[in-house]
Amino acid sequence: MSSRKRKPTFVLVIPRFEDIFHSYYAGEVIRGVSLSASRVNADFLIHITDRSNHRGWLDSTLMDRNYIDGIIFADIDNDVSIVKKAIRWGMPCMVLNNILDEPINYVAVDNHAAAFGVIEYLLKLGHTQIATIAGDISTQAGLKRLEGYREALHAKDIQVARNYITFGEFLRTPARIAAKKLLKLRMRPTAIFAASDVMALEVLDEAKHLGIQVPEELSIVGFDDNPLSTTGSVKLTTISQPLVEMARLGAENLYQISRGAMKLPLKIVLPTKLVKRQSVSTVAKADKRLAEVNK
């Protein structure tokens, strides 16, 4: 570098999406990065990008090593080429929330395994009519959660009904539309796995609107362990993922990488946990309740 800064400076790149400033994911990532900033005495700049045009994610101001010591990507929308471009420029990089085969640094969770485990749990409770509201499959998280759902059912030789797979894009309004579609099916599912808690809460609300009791008539599982999942009358069963820890580890390791203090590539996969609450019951209870309703 031609000059020495008082503090190392890093950039956190966050793809823009609806309600980004109310997003649990974005908020937790920023919180984790902020924790690491104080620990390593560094500055982190937040760069919010256009999701539809990845060419604008990187520009000359971000790629100047005289001012920027590294880039941490909160997500990459399955666009590895963006990270490779930064690496070619000699910029230390860290990717969050994506498991990559390429020699690229990342800290992530195994979304496929977590979703697979959710469906295994529902199957053990007797559910076979299991629907899903998938997230945005342009993201690895959305895609892998959908794949985990499908493969867990296929592993038990259960054919996935086409109309049981809907898409909520990790957003409230599309999730509400998907919930209405699923809950009005003639062969209504006995369980729904939503790929985020925000979407699962839309299912809960729509079920209440239609007079469908949870979990007596319908089991619901979300993903994230968003604090909102425990505020309603029915507390949501969900997958807890360590978002703050993921961001903190990503930022602190990026700092060490920028100093040449780590062997590369760094690949960290953090554990998730199924948090069992009130929104799931055995299918026997659902069948009993349905029989009572149909009397």
Domain boundaries, the chain: 9-109+241-271, 111-240+276-293
- From first to last of its 295 residues, the chain has per-residue pLDDT tens of 445 556 899 999 998 776 667 789 999 999 999 999 989 999 999 988 877 777 778 877 788 888 899 999 999 988 899 999 999 999 999 999 999 999 999 999 999 999 999 999 999 999 999 999 999 999 999 999 999 999 999 999 999 999 999 999 999 999 999 999 999 999 999 999 999 999 999 999 999 999 999 999 999 999 999 999 999 889 999 999 999 999 999 999 999 999 998 899 999 999 999 999 999 999 866 555 554 544 4
pLDDT at 90: 92
Contact 233, 206 (CB under 8 A): no
Measured in Å, how far apart are the chain's first and last C-alpha atoms? 78
Tokens of 242: 């360590």
pLDDT at 194: 98
pLDDT at 294: 46
Reported as half-sphere exposure (CB side, CA atoms, 13 A), residue 59 has a value of 7
Q: Which amino acid, one-letter code, is at 134?
A: A
- Provide the 3-class DSSP secondary structure of residue 201: helix
pLDDT at 19: 66
pLDDT at 66: 87
d(CA 226, CA 224): 5
- Provide the 3-class DSSP secondary structure of residue 169: coil
pLDDT at 4: 55
d(CA 178, CA 166): 6
pLDDT at 286: 54
Give how far Cα 142 sits from Cα of 3, 16, 137, 267, 273, Å: 42, 16, 4, 20, 18
pLDDT at 2: 44
- 260 CB-near residues (< 8 Å, 6+ apart): none
Tokens of 26: 């974005």
User: Do 9-109+241-271 and 111-240+276-293 show the same overall fold?
Assistant: yes
Q: 9-109+241-271, which class in CATH? A: alpha beta
The topology under which CATH files domain 111-240+276-293 is Rossmann fold (3.40.50)
> Would the CA dihedral through 87, 135, 272, 230 be positive or negative?
positive
